[in-house]
Amino acid sequence: MSVETYEGVLEKGKIRLKEGAKLPDHAKVYLIVTDITFDVKISRKKIIQILTPQLAHSKDAARFKMQVTREKK
């Protein structure tokens, strides 16, 4: 296996190699990413998702009807 190094940049999800670099179609490549800078505005908060229960059959919803009553004072 021979190894060659090319430099390029990522633009809109595609890697653009520097001028003059040519690779054959379907060439096996490995990507090494350097100089990554992250936006400091990215929130580090955990996102919590609370799911509501689902009924297997909509006809079962009748079993969960709520009846509101008032207490006598």
pLDDT at 53: 74
- Indicate the domain borders of the chain: 1-38
Tell me: the pLDDT tens digits for 11-60? 888 888 888 888 888 888 888 887 776 655 556 677 777 877 778 888 88
pLDDT at 68: 83
Q: How far from the centroid of its chain's Cα atoms is residue 35's Cα?
A: 22
Contact status, residue 23 vs residue 29, Cβ threshold 8 Å:
yes
CA distances from 68 to 3, 46, 52, 59, 61 (A): 75, 37, 22, 21, 17
